[in-house]
Structures are given as C-alpha cells and as structure tokens.
C-alpha cells in the first residue's frame, strides 16, 4: 500500500475529526510505513470525540491500542482513567489493560508512551 492509498483509508475519520486529523495521519503513516505494522485499523470512539488505532507490530501477536494525540495536549490521571473507561465501555472488551499514547510533534516526531490501567500519582514518599 502506498502513502496515497493509506491516507485514503483514514480520510473519512480525518474529515469527521479535523482537530485530530494531523495527529491521526502522522501516526497512521508512521505505523504502516515506517514501522510496517500489520492489520492496522482505525476505530472511531465517539464518547472521546477521536479515533484510535488498533494494530499489531511485526514481532507482536497481541493487538495494541494507539491513541494519536498532540504534544500540546495535557493528560491527567483523570483523563487517562476516562480514556480507559470509555474504551472499555465502547468496545465491550475489558481485557485491554494498556494503551499507547502516540504523541506527535510539529517536526513530525512521534513518541510512543505506554500507559497501564490503574495508574496512580506518586506519593510524597516517592519524591526525593
């Protein structure tokens, strides 16, 4: 699949959610072209007003959930908790215990940050 056909597959999602179109296309191309992921699929999560990407890396068999987002977005513990609850209720699959935030930057860098369900803020004892 070339870049044009890859972008054609995500065009409807980019048109519906223009505020996240740049991030979705950047991450989608990074996964499908640069990283050669298999079975990459974009899923619309209406409660979150955004799309997520499901896919498998070449060496992994388990499907991963990738959440494209901007480097200017803030991700609090509360927002991450909402992300997990929205995904689980919308997808009816409570088995997903982690998601990967795909944080995009204006220079086309994508940083992948894996977040697990049940994340808690550090206690005062951990701050040194």
Query: Looking at residue 8, which CATH number applies to its domain?
Result: 3.40.1350.10
Q: What is the domain extent for residue 40?
A: 3-116
The pTM of this model reads 0.83
Helix (H), strand (E) at residue 82: helix 77-91
Q: Which DSSP category does 33 fall into?
A: I
In a domain? residue 15 = yes
Q: Is residue 56 part of a domain?
A: yes
Average pLDDT over residues 38-56: 87
Of residues 119 and 81, more confidence is placed in 81
What's residue 2's pLDDT?
Answer: 66
Give me the number of domains the chain comprises.
Answer: 1
pLDDT band for 47, please (50, 70, 90 cuts). Answer: confident
Let me know if residue 122 belongs to a domain: no
Q: Which residues contact 121 (CB under 8 A, 6 or more apart)?
A: 77
């Amino acid at each position: 699949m070339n870049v044009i056909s890859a972008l054609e597959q995500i065009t409807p999602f980019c048109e519906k959610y223009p505020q996240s179109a740049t991030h979705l296309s950047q991450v989608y191309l990074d996964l499908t072209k640069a990283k050669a992921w298999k079975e990459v699929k974009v899923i619309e999560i209406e409660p979150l007003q955004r799309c997520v990407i499901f896919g498998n890396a070449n060496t992994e068999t388990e499907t991963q959930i990738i959440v494209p987002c901007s480097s200017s977005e803030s991700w609090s513990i509360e927002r991450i908790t909402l992300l997990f609850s929205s995904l689980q209720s919308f997808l009816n699959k409570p088995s997903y215990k982690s998601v990967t935030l795909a944080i995009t930057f204006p220079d086309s860098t994508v940083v992948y940050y894996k977040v697990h369900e049940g994340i808690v803020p550090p206690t005062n004892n951990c701050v040194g």
